[in-house]
Structure 1
Amino acid sequence: MHSTTFATALGEFALVWTDRGIRRVFLPGGEPAEVQERLAKLGAEPGTPDRATAAVLDQIEDYADGQQIDFSATRLDLEGVPDFHRQCYAILLTIGWGATSTYGDIARQLGDVGLSRAVGQAMGANPIPLIIPCHRVLAAGGKAGGFSAPGGTSTKRTMLALEGVSLGAPPGQMQFVF
């Protein structure tokens, strides 16, 4: 397992890959020492990306620059990811740039709206955010919902805004309509 960190317009990303595909993406916002510790815990050795991995790295840089990118064809290494999570992620990969879904909608696609919380847990455990676009999943009523990446829902809002999705005023801000 190999890793690299790289700067983008959104900040420093970390990418982990194997010969099967991308295994992890760390979104910007973590302290460099913390990111290095997490990479070491995974057993990821610093490496030079092969051609396929370098192409993904370039796509992430382009995304951070505001270019419309489709990651759905990216080879992923989901070893150790539970089947239910894989099912959720397969649905996520169909949600394109600038589009959103809800936890409930994904649960319905899985056959039971009662799975909404389980869908939320799968989003929180997503090892490959951005490429598996969990930032495009909203709570009921179009609210941001949670986001487990550094910066929480602020990061989610930034990523959605980059894609042209506006969620309105941040929570806690009042809007007056006369």
Structure 2
Amino acid sequence: MASDSHLNLAAFPTDLGWAALATKDSFVEQIAFAYPSAAAALAAVDVDVACGEDAGKDWRWLIDRLQDFSTGQPVDFSDVPLAIEHLTAFRRRVIEHARAIPYGATRSYGELAALAGSPRAARAVGSTMATNRFSIVVPCHRVTNSDGTPGAYGGPNGAALKRRLLDMEQRAVATFGRPRRIAKRGRKKPPPR
């Protein structure tokens, strides 16, 4: 069956660099974060840019939250609708448990595997995090090695960016305490098309 849905794209600046957002229908398809330019952020999105429309208008609420996050503010992304239906059941569970890691906290790959119901699948969790298409909204930067070291990170500047994100969150928690209620700017969901 043919779909009348369109891919929507937006590139926008944050305090950590440029980000790109790809959406389709009422779901986020991909987020690229902390790139040196708008062109680099858009190039990191695994879609055909030529077919894109501007996602900035309908998804301004999410862009605002990502920009707030980049300044060190605790932001809740739990209501962001993600296009994960194509993932295996295990990967969907990993994504959902990763999304539940509190701001400023970390979980090891093994802990996340256990939470997802497969305690011996730490490497599979690592693979899921390495292919995470929803940077920041699925906070793979909060998933660390069992010894607490950051481990790999697929974004620009790799592990250095991961460490920067973790440090930023931990400083905010040390300064203000763990947030009881995290800010949600804008509408919860995009308008129906």
TM-score, length-scaled by structure 1: 0.84
- The DSSP-based 3-state class of the residue aligned with 2:101 is coil
Unaligned runs of 5+ in 2: 1-6, 172-193
Task: Find the counterpart in structure 2 of residue 142 from structure 1.
Answer: 148
For the 8 Å contact 1:70–1:96, the answer to whether it is kept is no
Task: Find the counterpart in structure 2 of residue 24 from structure 1.
Answer: 30
Task: Find the counterpart in structure 2 of residue 130 from structure 1.
Answer: 136
Structure 2 letter corresponding to 1:7: P
Structure 2 letter corresponding to 1:60: L
Of structures 1 and 2, the one with the larger relative CO (CA 8 A, separation 6+) is 2
CA deviation digits over 1:70-101, x for unaligned, max 9? 11111112243333211100101111211110
**In 1, Cα distance between equivalents of 2:130 and 2:80:** 20
For the 8 Å contact 1:138–1:144, the answer to whether it is kept is yes
What is the CA-CA distance between 1:28 and the residue it aligns to? 1.5
Change (3 A) 1:33 1:63: closer
- Pick one of 52, 63, 68 that aligns with 1:57: 63
Question: In the comparison of the two structures, how many residue pairs are matched?
Answer: 164
* Larger CA deviation: 6-15 vs 26-35: 26-35
Q: Does 1:42 align with 2:47?
A: yes
Change (3 A) 1:129 1:37: closer
For the 8 Å contact 1:71–1:131, the answer to whether it is kept is yes
Q: Does 1:121 align with 2:127?
A: yes
For the 8 Å contact 2:98–2:139, the answer to whether it is kept is yes
Structure 2 letter corresponding to 1:42: V
**In 2, Cα distance between equivalents of 1:149 and 1:161:** 16
What is the CA-CA distance between 1:21 and the residue it aligns to? 1.6
- Pick one of 96, 99, 104 that aligns with 2:105: 99
- The DSSP-based 3-state class of the residue aligned with 1:163 is helix
Task: Find the counterpart in structure 1 of residue 190 from structure 2.
Answer: none
CA deviation digits over 1:95-122, x for unaligned, max 9? 1211110101011122332100000000
Unaligned runs of 5+ in 1: 166-178
What is the CA-CA distance between 1:151 and the residue it aligns to? 0.8
Task: Find the counterpart in structure 2 of residue 169 from structure 1.
Answer: none
**In 2, Cα distance between equivalents of 1:110 and 1:15:** 27
Task: Find the counterpart in structure 2 of residue 83 from structure 1.
Answer: 89
Change (3 A) 1:38 1:156: closer
CA RMSD of aligned residues (A): 2.0
**In 1, Cα distance between equivalents of 2:65 and 2:39:** 25
TM-score, length-scaled by structure 2: 0.78
**In 1, Cα distance between equivalents of 2:85 and 2:117:** 25
- Pick one of 51, 67, 70 that aligns with 2:73: 67
